[in-house]
Amino acid sequence: SHLIELPSCEIHRLGEIADLVTSVRLSRIRKEKLALAMKNEGYIPKLLQLFQVCESVKNTEGLHLLFDIVRGILYLDKTILFEVMFSDECILDVVGCLEYDPCLAQPGWHREFLTKTTKLQEVIPVRDPELRQKIRQISRAQYIHTIIMPNPSDFEAGFLSTLNSFISSSKEEILQALQKDEEFLPEVFAQLTNEATAGEQQWELMKFFKEFCAFSFTLPEKRDEFLQTLAKLGFLPTLEMLMGMDDLQVRSAATDILSYLVEFSPATVQQFVMQEAQQSENDTQLITEVIEQIICSPNPEFGGDNQLTEILCALIDPEKMLAVASNLEIFEFLDIFYGRYIHVLTAPLLADPSEEWYEIVLFFFFFVQLMALLFLVDNYQTAEILASVLELLSFCVERHKYHMKIFIIKKDLLRRTLVLMKSKHKFLALCALRFMRRIIGLKDELYYHYITLGNLFEPVVNAVLDNRNKCNLLKSASMELFEFIQKEDIQFLIAHIVENFSDALESVKYIHTFQVLKTKYEQEKYQQNEKLN
């Protein structure tokens, strides 16, 4: 059909051009007609020539109109125009037009930023000139996207869906080209593992590789091929080595990459972990590295602990292991985990109370002096780490019922944990209580005998009494535990609570739950006497 007629490209008609570009924004058909007309008439280079004229004579009004025109052309969201605007011949003038935003008191510095401040940093040289050009083009496209839409709403993002697709498809082309290069990825791995690689260079390599993996894993149709390539290069042993490095930035990036892998291909990591556990007798393994970083984290409050905790849970989850192993193999792996790794995870809880637990653990990992200083500065860090350990152990209680039950009873782990209910950090006291709640929730009679023989309800009752006149989460969580016992009618525990703590709980008679427990106990005792009679 007929294309849109374009005004002649002259300075005195810039207002008409701006109005035309703005008027078509809400019409898909008119946007397509305008884009095709501009492409056919070579309109964009002509506009950019006007920009050079306006800038040379300092025509502020013309520059402001050119800003509106160029931004409007970008909002047409057409690939045929992007190819022109992001070319080497046009890109700097396009960015120059975007410097003259009428809303700004002074023009921006986008051209200076692109030409002087930013440089295409090649951690590994790219030999293909076309690929280098593609990388340069896509970096400029991303920069322009950021200029015109720094914080887009969902509605605004829809206006640039083609630009987003253009950037995404270009990235995909770049990744495919790099994967096909038989020398590129091996060179990346060689430099990452080379002890002679300088710290700054290694960090740049890790940043590149992290972004490379993050985007590659989001492409389902290419993911398997990418994983096969990584497997041939010994990806996981390399990642394990990088996670054990002293450089915090490198370790953090390696953890992020492992997190991507666990999210998109958990079976790959689980298979590696199981093989490593069965084939190796030493403790320098991936699971050990993850646990070490959880219990030796200098800044657990910044969220790194949560990421590591999720990784470890994914690696030791029997349900997820079923994709790569039989039930017998999973059982054997858990035998190894509880024989070799669990003592490292529980070291903070099982250490001698007369010693600082973290000094023992850190001596084990050769970080005693540095990390002890960090922990001594603020005991809150210790509480954060203990909370993370308890969350992991609560996970183990539910997923590893047989192995964890043996370990808890053998090490008297619950008693050690409930000591933390006296902590000044209430979130840690809650974690300790939640651990006990998970155990009781399994309704296992062996656990019931262990709890009653050790009189392990005493810390919970004390918490209720200490908070009798308060309204807080610890009191609510404690009451929820007793309510669960009452609703499930666990007579063995009801009898223990009433017989041992009835007098102490007299001061909280107003709490209905304890009255119900006492009534249930008396009813059960009466029924038993009736049976005997």
Q: Phi and psi dihedrals of 133, rounded to 5?
A: -65, -40
- Whether the per-residue pLDDT at 46 is higher than 60: the answer is yes
- Whether the per-residue pLDDT at 410 is higher than 90: the answer is yes
Band (pLDDT 50/70/90 cuts) for residue 70 is very high
- Residue 479 CB neighbour total at 10 angstroms: 18
pLDDT of res. 159: 65
pLDDT of res. 440: 96
3-state DSSP call for residue 198?
Answer: coil
Whole-number Å distance between alpha carbons of 507 and 501? 11
Whole-number Å distance between alpha carbons of 324 and 471? 48
User: What's the token pair of residue 339?
Assistant: 């024989």
pLDDT per position as a tens digit, 196-208:
777 788 888 888 8
Band (pLDDT 50/70/90 cuts) for residue 468 is confident
Cβ pair 255, 243 in contact under 8 A: yes
Task: Quickly count helices (H) and strands (E) in the chain.
Answer: 33, 0
Q: What share of the chain in percent tops pLDDT 90?
A: 33
Rg (CA), the chain: 32
CA distances from 280 to 284, 342, 384 (A): 9, 16, 32
> Following DSSP, what letter does each residue of 295-309 receive, concatenated?
HT-S-GGGSHHHHHH
- Whether the per-residue pLDDT at 182 is higher than 90: the answer is no
Whole-number Å distance between alpha carbons of 110 and 191? 34
Q: What share of the chain is helix, strand, coil (3-state, %, to 5)?
A: 75, 0, 25
Closest CA to 219 of 160, 265, 254, 187: 265
Residue, of 356 and 484, whose pLDDT is higher: 484
Closest CA to 513 of 457, 447, 464: 464
- Whether the per-residue pLDDT at 357 is higher than 50: the answer is no
User: What's the token pair of residue 266?
Assistant: 């958990």
pLDDT per position as a tens digit, 485-528:
999 999 999 999 999 998 888 877 667 888 888 889 889 888 88
pLDDT of res. 351: 67
Closest CA to 367 of 286, 291, 297, 283: 297
Q: Which amino acid is at 70?
A: V
Whole-model pTM?
0.74
- Whether the per-residue pLDDT at 309 is higher than 80: the answer is yes
